[in-house]
Amino acid sequence: MGNRAEQTEKRRQAILLSSLDLFVHKGYHGTTVRDIAKRSEVSVGLLFHYFPTKQAILEELLKIAQDGLDLTETLMEQSVSPIEFFEQMTAAILQAFKDSTMAAKIFMLSNQALTSHWIPEESKAPLSASTSVSETAKLIEKGQTQGSIRPGDPLSLSLAFWGAIHGVAEALVSYPQIAVPEAKWIVDMVRKHPQDDLQK
């Protein structure tokens, strides 16, 4: 890659990173193109050379988020047990949070995209096929049958699991100096423990 191409890609990434930070903290509608240009240290005209609209920036960020969701789908398709799925997926997500401050923000943005009205519906398209809570609830139900997942309503357990992941992402965005928790602590929310049988 030549110097010009490298500079172009570096500037493009800077715009995406600046936009991500602004969208997460100020919201999509609360962020102006001028805000993004200022944070990225480019003119508004140059910004439009890279992305024709603010929505185009959002959609590019949501495509990155979709790559992370694809990991979940890939793990689901593999022949691993439900508890192994939770162990591997949680470890992968938390490692991504450790490796890049962008990962937690992307995770937050994807959650906002799926649950908020402020993101245009057409921009949600890359994420619309993702049904993390309902899909992992099916795995929880399977794991309960096999005896590796704790008893309880599968959807509620799935919601608690994803709520914990989202909570970690939000905390890391607000307090990046905090250490990322161990994957085991979160997986233990769904893992079956000996005392679970005593509580029946």
Tell me the domain boundaries of the chain.
Answer: 1-52, 60-198
Tell the residue number behind the tokens 């994420």, with chain if given: 127
How many other C-beta atoms are found inside a 10 Å radius of the C-beta of residue 74? Answer: 10
Is residue 90 predicted with pLDDT exceeding 60?
yes
Query: Token digits for 193?
Result: 């423990």
- Burial label for 70, CB within 10 Å (0-12, 13-18, 19+), is exposed
Check residue 149 and give its pLDDT.
Answer: 96
Given the candidates 1.10.2020.10, 3.30.70.3270, 1.10.357.10, 3.40.50.620, the CATH classification of the domain at 60-198 is 1.10.357.10
**Residue 149, SS3?**
strand
Higher pLDDT, 76 or 20: 20
pLDDT (tens digit per residue) in 113-162: 777 666 666 666 555 544 578 888 999 999 999 999 999 999 999 999 99
Q: Does position 68 have pLDDT exceeding 80, yes or no?
A: no
Same fold, 1-52 and 60-198: no
Please give the CATH topology (third level) of the domain spanning 1-52: Arc Repressor Mutant, subunit A (1.10.10)
Highest mean pLDDT among 25-39, 73-87, 126-140: 25-39
**Mean pLDDT computed over 86-96:** 91
**Tokens encoding 141:** 């139900």
Q: What is the pLDDT of residue 64?
A: 83
**pTM greater than 0.85 (yes/no):** no
Distance of alpha carbon 192 from alpha carbon 83, whole angstroms:
9
Q: How far is the C-alpha of 19 from the C-alpha of 32, rounded, in Å? A: 10
